[in-house]
Amino acid sequence: MNTLVYRKVATSAEVYAVIHARHRAQLAAYRTYSAPDGDHFGDPETCVMETDWGIKGQDGPLLGIRTTWECDPSEPAQRRNEKHEYWLWQAIEPREEP
């Protein structure tokens, strides 16, 4: 069985927004990661929300977004130094699986 391998290709907020807006009805969350109280797999002082979107019924992701900010337990509603990353997923080659 062949499985596609994907790589992230950085894109802009504008490209992400247009694709998401134009195809919203066709998109489904492919993968999500939420760590609003600190990233337990990275920096515990950085909060993270990340989502990869794919077309419904397809086996791979299409685009993604990652938002990070400094966690402050005394002010959990505050998002200090909020940063956003956007990407497209590119299928690069099939990989043989045993």
**pTM, 2 dp:** 0.85
Residue 62 counted as domain residue? yes
What is the model's pLDDT at position 73?
79
Looking at the structure of the chain, the number of domains it has is 1
Q: Quick: pLDDT tens for 26-65.
A: 999 999 999 998 998 889 899 999 999 999 998 899 999 9
Beta strands 80-96 and 63-70 are: antiparallel
Longest dimension (CA), the chain: 50
Question: Could you tell me if residue 84 is inside a domain?
Answer: yes
Query: Model confidence over 54-97: pLDDT tens digits?
Result: 999 988 999 999 999 999 878 877 889 999 999 999 998 776 66
Query: Would 97 be classed as within a structural domain?
Result: no
Q: Which domain does 86 fall in, by range?
A: 2-92
Using CB atoms within 10 A of its CB, is residue 50 exposed (0-12), middle (13-18) or buried (19+)?
middle
Is 80 inside any structural domain?
yes
- Closest by CA to 10, choosing from 77, 63, 83, is 63
Q: How does residue 20 score in pLDDT terms, banded at 50, 70 and 90? A: very high
- Strands 80-96 and 27-35 come out as unpaired
What's the pLDDT at 97? 62
- Indicate whether 98 pLDDT > 90: no
